[in-house]
Amino acid sequence: MLSIDGVTDLWDQLFGAQPDPPGMLVLLTAVAGFLAVAIRPVWRVARNAVTIAHEGGHALFALLTGRKLRGIRLEFDTSGLTLSAGRPTGFGMILTLLGGYIAPSLVGLLGAWLLGGNRITLLLWLAVVLLLLMLINIRNLFGAISLLVTGAIVFAVSWYAEPDVQAAFAYAGVWFLLFGGIRPVFELQNLRSRGRMRDSDPDQLARLTHLPALFWVTVFLAVNVAALLAGAFLLAGQWILTLTT
């Protein structure tokens, strides 16, 4: 059992603020996050993290609107599927469909807010908790392995790595989600323009709301670009202001 001192140390480690990272670390991790999205072979692998956030967004909004979560699948080709039960129309279904494409960017924005307060360890542990909660609802083997491996990597960094390594890992991950939330929207519209993915999230939203699917694609893009700009300011804004004053 943990002693009182041990609990106090753990609490301080989890909720305490870490030192400000070097400005160069913020810049280099931003470049790394962007390149992971821009370079196609890297993106094909790294996109799994975006898919996890995407399907997690569907699941979270389904639960928040009173729908019953039936399960989540993550596939080897980086696609995914989240099934929920409830009314096939209405506000809950709209929010559930809306939550997928904006979730990676919103998770990245939340991460940027935590890093802006130097809560690096808290961010990493929160990521582990969220991955474990998703694991409970996974319904295929690859999805379970993907979440276990991702969670194990994040936990190992949070528990064993030195503070500077934790900072680099956390910043790179958050930058990746902020950049990575935008590319799938363009990929989606590219497929739609070629007559594919007729049951995509924006097409389902169009049928529910009688607003064009392109309107919903634009909403996804606007939200994700706004999240990127806000997240970039939280991560690098103060450092840039320091350099210019």
- Structure-token match 């706004």, residue found: 226
pLDDT band for position 18 (cuts 50, 70, 90): confident
Among residues 218, 199, 197, the alpha carbon closest in space to that of 208 is found at: 199
pLDDT at 13 over 70: no
- For residue 5, what pLDDT is reported? 53
Average pLDDT value over all residues in the chain: 91
- Cβ of 213: how many Cβ atoms within 10 Å? 21
Q: How far apart are CA 34 and CA 38, in angstroms?
A: 6
- For residue 243, what pLDDT is reported? 56
Which structure tokens are listed for 217?
A: 């694609």
Integer Rg of the chain from CA: 19
Three-state secondary structure readout of the chain:
CCCHHHHHHHHHHHHCCCCCCCHHHHHHHHHHHHHHHHCHHHHHHHHHHHHHHHHHHHHHHHHHCCCEEEEEEECCCCCEEEEEECCCCCHHHHHHHHHHHHHHHHHHHHHHHHHHCCCHHHHHHHHHHHHHHHHHCECCHHHHHHHHHHHHHHHHHHHHCCHHHHHHHHHHHHHHHHHHCCHHHHHHHHHHHCCCCCCCHHHHHHHHHCCCHHHHHHHHHHHHHHHHHHHHHHHHHHHHHHHHC
Domain boundaries, the chain: 22-244
Which structure tokens are listed for 137?
A: 């609802």
Under 8 Å CB-to-CB from 137, ≥6 apart: which residues?
A: 59, 69, 71, 72
Among residues 104, 232, 119, the alpha carbon closest in space to that of 177 is found at: 104
Question: Which pLDDT tens digit goes with each residue over 24-57?
Answer: 999 999 999 999 999 999 999 999 999 999 999 9
- For residue 195, what pLDDT is reported? 85
pLDDT band for position 113 (cuts 50, 70, 90): very high
pLDDT band for position 7 (cuts 50, 70, 90): low
Mean pLDDT of the region 214-232: 98
Under 8 Å CB-to-CB from 139, ≥6 apart: which residues?
A: 71, 72, 73
Question: Which pLDDT tens digit goes with each residue over 75-93?
Answer: 999 999 999 999 999 999 9
| Percent of the residues in the chain that have a pLDDT greater than 70, as a whole number | 90
Q: How far apart are CA 53 and CA 180, in angstroms?
A: 10
Q: How far apart are CA 209 and CA 219, in angstroms?
A: 14
- For residue 196, what pLDDT is reported? 83
Q: How far apart are CA 65 and CA 91, in angstroms?
A: 8
pLDDT at 10 over 90: no
